[in-house]
Amino acid sequence: MILSVSKERHVAEITLQADRVKMFAKEETHDLYAAIDLSVAKLEHQAQKLKAKREEHKGPSGARGNAGVKVTASVLAADRRGPGGAPEVIRCQRIPAKPMSIEEAVAQLGASRDEFLAFTNASNQTVAVLYRRKDGNYGLIEQEGR
């Protein structure tokens, strides 16, 4: 950031460098704070344009193939009943379904204390759920064909 003042001319120059992007804004006014505000507004506008351009090119943040698939995990209450006597959802959580092999999923579930793991099967790009069985083994639920 470069701020300069000469008589009644106040200049704010801001250069912002990030991942493979360099943005620059320069404003000149009679008030230094106004010049800074205008320069920052220019940079914000440039960043928004860049973000829109990238989303248009790549799709919404990180959505490549099934990499952006989200799975909703819901917990049903056994002792709480909703209308009609059916169990009601007491917690709902959206989690990313990361692409990985079945072996990687088994290793990840084995290292955690979770009961199940939702993931995208890397071999056939379908959503799958790996769960821990009471006998110590694992079960796999996969989407049928496509």
Confidence of residue 66 (pLDDT cuts 50, 70, 90): very low
The two three-digit tokens of residue 123, written as one number: 């071999």
- How far, in Å, CA of 14 to CA of 45, rounded? 14
Cβ-based neighbours of 46, under 8 Å, separated by 6 or more = 23, 25
Kindly tell me the burial class for residue 74, based on how many C-beta atoms sit within 10 Å of its own C-beta (0-12, 13-18, 19 or more). Answer: exposed
pTM of the model: 0.41
Comparing 72 with 28, the larger pLDDT belongs to 28
